[in-house]
Structure 1
Amino acid sequence: MRVFRILAILVLAFGLAACGNKSKFKTYNGPEVTSIQVHKAARKMYLLHHQKVLKSYDIALGFNPIGHKQFEGDGRTPEGTYIIDRRNPNSEFHLSIGISYPNQADRAYAEAFGKKPGGDIFIHGGPKKKVSRRDWTAGCIAVTDKEMERIYAMVKDGTPIQILP
């Protein structure tokens, strides 16, 4: 009877452990992500270790994806070379990593037109609500929540990101 009781306790303990919330914070021990490339037209993002693709992702972009982001509210995703400069573990979109847009040239261009360049451009997970169109962000790069967990673990602050048309 004692063996049965111990077995029952073990089964219960393992069962409860399996029911716990899985953490959104993953670990990564592979090759360093040395850069990110985004190909807007193809809706693809690549995490690279030098020239080798480590992972590729299908992405969603800003709701007006053609062309470089110029002004706040234009719905475009920036184009150019930037840096991953921050992370938000409490993002409205599951997890997010920040892109250093706007740079000095972006600010100067918008200022010349008397406008603001916008900001808060991130790679982030999906929305809480279902979206009805392919490109739905305000200018960010979106992936699924599960993909974002992996990206968040793999990509470190300071990683260059090249966003191509």
Structure 2
Amino acid sequence: MRVYKGQRMIVLDGPEGVLRTIPMDLGFAPEGHKQFEGDGRTPEGSYVIDRRNPESLFHLSIGISYPNEADIAYAKAQGRSPGGDIFIHGGPRPGIDPTNKRDWTAGCIAVSDREIEDIYAMVKNGTPIDIYS
């Protein structure tokens, strides 16, 4: 799985090449790598899909293994928390209206409800995810 933040696109790869491309939205501060809790950024780097939440406040979600050891060490050296709970998820909880707003999450990757249903079914825990700027 590959995520291209600048192009706002997820690429799902299969054994013989690209299976699908999916448009997405990002955190409210989309530029740069997530470093600290509350910075609104989406991480960049190599992670894995490490959990799934069918009871999410959003329409399904799958977890990204942020923070890794390097993320934790950097934040700790700055006396800060790296944050966490970074997911790929569907539509928002009540009270958030992203219909005319790009990059509305708090650092997650948002897709349509239909797209997260497909991703949730296709992408298993342990799947590598590379997130690029």
Alignment partner of 1:53 is 2:21:
no
The 5-angstrom pairing of residues 65-144 of structure 1 reads: 65-128=30-93, 129-131=96-98, 132-144=100-112
Alignment partner of 1:159 is 2:121:
no
The 5-angstrom pairing of residues 12-27 of structure 1 reads: none
List per-residue Cα deviations over 1:8-66 (Å, max 9, x = no partner). xxxxxxxxxxxxxxxxxxxxxxxxxxxx0000000000010146110111000010000
Alignment partner of 1:39 is 2:7:
no
**Residues 104 and 49 (structure 1), Cα distance of their counterparts in 2 relative to 1, 3 Å cut:** same
The structure with the largest alpha-carbon Rg is 1
Look up the match of 1:8: none
**Residues 81 and 51 (structure 1), Cα distance of their counterparts in 2 relative to 1, 3 Å cut:** farther
Say which SS state the counterpart of residue 139 (structure 1) adopts. coil
Structure richer in helix, relative to its length: 1
**Residues 85 and 134 (structure 1), Cα distance of their counterparts in 2 relative to 1, 3 Å cut:** same
Structure richer in strand, relative to its length: 2
Q: How many residues align?
A: 130
Equivalent AA in structure 2 for residue 151 of structure 1? I
Task: Give aligned-pair identity as a percent.
Answer: 65
| CA apart distance, 1:150 | 0.6
Between 78-87 and 127-136, report the one with greater CA deviation. 127-136
**Structure 1: runs of 5 or more not aligned:** 1-35
RMSD: 1.0
**Matches of 2:81 and 2:20 in 1, distance apart?**
34
- Runs of 4 or more off by more than 3 Å in structure 1? none
**Structure 2: runs of 5 or more not aligned:** none
Say which SS state the counterpart of residue 72 (structure 2) adopts. helix
**Matches of 1:53 and 1:103 in 2, distance apart?**
27
